[in-house]
Amino acid sequence: MKLGRVRTPWWHRAIERLIALFASSAILAVIAIGVFVFRQAWPLLIDDDALTDQGGLASLFRPRLWPGYDEPLHVWQPVGFPGKLDVIPLVVGTLKITGLTMAIAIPLGVGGAVFLSEVAPRRVREWVKAAVELLAAVPSVVVGFFVLAILAGGVQRAFDLTYRLNAFVAAIGLAFAVVPVVLTITEDALRTVPRELVEASLALGARRWQTTLGVTLPAAMPGIAAAVVLGFGRAIGETMIVLMASGNAPVMGLDPTSSARTLTATIAAELGEVTPGSDHWRVLFLLGALLFVVTFALNELGRWVVLRLRRKLRAEEVAPVSGRARRATATAEVAS
């Protein structure tokens, strides 16, 4: 007698196919965007006739003595007589704002995560986590408007700054977007540290804060590194906040109180009005390609670190990242 073997109905398989298609559409979209952006920039890299009035591809990165200037300089003034397409001021502006953002976001994000997972009572933790998640959901244009309309004036008065819109204010705005990323991933990393390690440390008479600093944090270090990398990727790709709060002046130099123009803001501000196919247009796509590669690489790096960490911890084989952690592992083994 045949037992009724359950055959999957045809519509189950159809829906499975459909879901697979949806899933792969995300991959297709990423590939399509990449190909599109690179294709527009490609002639710059292979065509010798491109950028002739700039002096070739290398001129995008090299200072030049333009008419009317006293010394060779990096100048981004794509509309002019002639237009000047040196991307170095934009790279400097991007790194300046991103660096400042991380200087604010790492202590706040990591410190906040340690507070939440190690110190805070449960009720406080739940409230704060909800607030942080809410903060991550605020649209960046709202954050940008808040910074532009309210925060910038306050910061200028507090520090007596010349420029109301500057790299520092933009970095504070960006920190609103980056801190939630760093905090949530760091907190996850701290949580995945095996309890035995912490208990062993406490059993050996270490204080809570000694355990946190000497055992939990070092053991979670790869996760924290991933949090920082992903936060950096978020900061470098964010557009609206910097467009509204940074002043968008393509200034060279690392003074945090001066204005800065980022790669993202430049693309957003200029692409709408530029002649398609012109050198200016292609350079904007080259900047887009650069951002694409950098954020893609950072995301992959962050993901890889997190995955590795998870796998190692699940196999209860703690990745020793520092001498302290190694000692902690050794003591844990002794204790068990």
Partner 1 sequence: MRVAIVCVVGLLACAGATRRAERHAADTVTLRGSDTMVVLSQKWAQAFRETRPELSVQVSGGGSGVGIAALMNGTTDLAAASRDVEPRELDALRARGGEPIVLRVAVDALAVYVHEDNPLPSLDVASLRALYRGHATHWTDVGGSDASRVVLYGRENSSGTYVYFKEHVLDRFDFAAETQSLPGTAAVIQAVRHDPKGIGYGGYGFAHGVRLVPIAPARGEPAVVPDERTAIDGSYPLARFLYLVLAEVPTGATRDLVTWVLSDEGQAEVEGAGFFPLPPEVRAAERAKLEDAR
Q: At closest approach, how far in Å is the CB of 269 from partner 1?
A: 5
User: Is 176 in a helix, a strand, or coil?
Assistant: helix
Within 13 Å of residue 33, how many CA atoms lie on the same side as its CB?
12
Q: At closest approach, how far in Å is the CB of 318 from partner 1?
A: 51
User: Closer CB to partner 1, residue 66 or residue 115?
Assistant: 66
295 in Cβ contact with 237 (< 8 Å): yes
User: Closer CB to partner 1, residue 268 or residue 301?
Assistant: 268
User: Closer CB to partner 1, residue 256 or residue 320?
Assistant: 256
Which tokens sit at 51?
């950028």
User: Closer CB to partner 1, residue 4 or residue 276?
Assistant: 276
Q: At closest approach, how far in Å is the CB of 193 from partner 1?
A: 47
Phi, psi of 247 (to 5 degrees): 85, -20
Please state whether the peptide bond connecting residue 82 to the residue before it is cis, i.e. omega within 30 degrees of 0. yes
Contacts of 148 (CB under 8 A, 6+ apart): 165, 244, 245
Distance CA 300, CA 205 (A): 40
Which residues of this chain interact with partner 1, rule CB under 8 A?
Answer: 66, 68-69, 75, 77-81, 84, 89, 153, 162-165, 243, 247-252, 258-259, 261, 269-270, 272-275
Indicate the angle between helix axes 263-270 and 221-237, nearest 10 degrees: 30
Q: At closest approach, how far in Å is the CB of 67 from partner 1?
A: 8
Distance CA 122, CA 99 (A): 33
User: Closer CB to partner 1, residue 271 or residue 301?
Assistant: 271
User: Closer CB to partner 1, residue 156 or residue 216?
Assistant: 156
Q: At closest approach, how far in Å is the CB of 251 from partner 1?
A: 5
User: Closer CB to partner 1, residue 48 or residue 70?
Assistant: 70
Within 13 Å of residue 308, how many CA atoms lie on the same side as its CB?
16
Q: Each residue of 219-240: b (16+ CB within 10 Å) or e? A: bbbbbbbbbbbbbbbbbbbbbb
DSSP string, 23-45: HHHHHHHHHHHHHHHHHHHHHHH
Q: At closest approach, how far in Å is the CB of 15 from partner 1?
A: 45
Q: At closest approach, how far in Å is the CB of 83 from partner 1?
A: 9
- Cβ neighbours around 246 below 10 Å, total: 29
